[in-house]
Amino acid sequence: MLSNIRNMSKNVTLRINYNNKMHALLPPILTDVSLRDGLQGLSREAEETFTLNKKKDIFHNIIFNYNPKNIEIGSIVNPKLLPIMSDSLHLYDYAVDFIKNVSKTDSNVYILVPNEKGFNIGLSHGVKNFSFLTSVSNSFQQKNVNKSLLETKKELKKIFTTIESVQKIQPSEFKTKLYISCITDCPLEGKINNDDIIHEILYYYADFPNINEFCLSDTCGSLKCEDYKYIVDNCIYFGVRPSKISLHLHVNKENIKEVNCIVKHSINNYINRFDVSIMESGGCSLTIQESKLLPNASYELFDSIYKSYGVDGKN
């Protein structure tokens, strides 16, 4: 199916850009990942200063000053690997209760689970909004979650079978997000072939129709705009709905022009879901050297880009 992708790409881009001229821009839907990705990018020394109360203060800042549509709170992961995540369920409970009874906002609270064990713990705890992890690199997946890509796919199948079973017994709405990491570089393998990335995205989109959001993650902060255009334009061509695509970007002064190009191409093609953070840290500390970790995209970045279109960049 992908053999003719390169020949199609230019025509796909032209077709989409032509259609965009006839439609208004969609407002951004932002997911704050400060209290998950932002925290896991901290140095070990900085982690020791982050008490539960300090995390609550960051949460209050996010809710009252930014009020994102979604907020991701920690991860249910082995505390020996990421000690800073050991109180994630406590923080999750606090956040859900605070939003419901104090701030009375409509933010959805997510928690990340790297495997079926973490999912089952979250499910038994009453969690309904989950983020999951996969990638387009087998080496990355082995290093990050100690599973191959094939094993990850099988495990995700079991998880979503469980969700379907729970919904039959007790109807309730689960919100689910799947991070697809290493778009387009892996910290262990290097550059990943764009066609292979498209193939993986199409697989998840076809086999997991109940996933609400497929988040393309620029793990290394090295994603080039031309590569991104090629990947996302052809995913849309083969049927992936833009409303199900989101972006997780890492930003510094060196890649800011690429990031601006990537975000603008997304906006022009009806992709309006983006991860943001108020932290100056971020990244996958389990697979990337501390010196190479980059912060997440900021609220200010998206606000600035949307304002260049004459649109408010807030949720």
Q: Looking at residue 107, what DSSP letter applies? A: P
Q: Is 126 left (phi over 0), alpha (psi -120 to 50) or beta?
A: left
Higher-confidence residue of 292 and 241: namely 241
Q: Give the separation between CA 159 and CA 165, rounded to whole angstroms.
A: 10
Give 4's pLDDT tier (boundaries 50, 70, 90): very low
Average pLDDT, the chain: 88
DSSP conformation letters of 187-223: TTTEEPPHHHHHHHHHHHHHH-TT-SEEEEE-TTS--
Distance between first and last Cα of the chain: 37
Q: Tell me which of 160-169, 206-215, 289-298 is least confident.
A: 289-298
Question: How many C-beta neighbours within 10 Å does residue 98 have?
Answer: 18
What is the DSSP code string of 15-30? HHHHHHTTSPPPPPEE
Res 284 pLDDT > 80: no
176: Cα within 13 Å, side-chain hemisphere? 23
DSSP line for 141-176: HHHHHS--HHHHHHHHHHHHHHHHHHHHHS----EE
The per-residue DSSP string of 258-308 comes to: HHHHHHHHHHHTT--EEEE-SSS--S-TTTS-GGG--PBPPHHHHHHHHHT
Mean pLDDT of 80-109: 93
Tracing tokens 């260049």 back to the chain, one arrives at 308
Residue 43 neighbours by CB distance under 10 Å: 11
Angle in degrees, 0-180, between the axes of helices 225-237 and 194-207, rounded to the nearest 10: 40
* Domains, the chain: 5-16+113-307 (3.20.20.70)
Return the pLDDT at 153. Answer: 97
- Can you give the pTM of this predicted structure? 0.90
Rounded CA separation 165/246 (Å): 27
The per-residue pLDDT for 7 is: 43
pLDDT (mean) for 252-274: 94
Across 283-303, average pLDDT: 76
pLDDT digit string, tens, across residues 47-83: 778 899 999 999 999 999 999 999 999 999 988 888 8
Lowest mean pLDDT among 100-104, 192-196, 233-237, 260-264: 100-104
Q: Comparing 280 with 186, which gets the higher pLDDT?
A: 186
Instruction: Report pLDDT for 74.
Output: 94
pLDDT value for 296: 87
Beta-carbon-side half-sphere exposure of residue 106 (alpha carbons within 13 Å): 4
Helix axis angle for 149-169 and 116-125, nearest 10°, is: 20
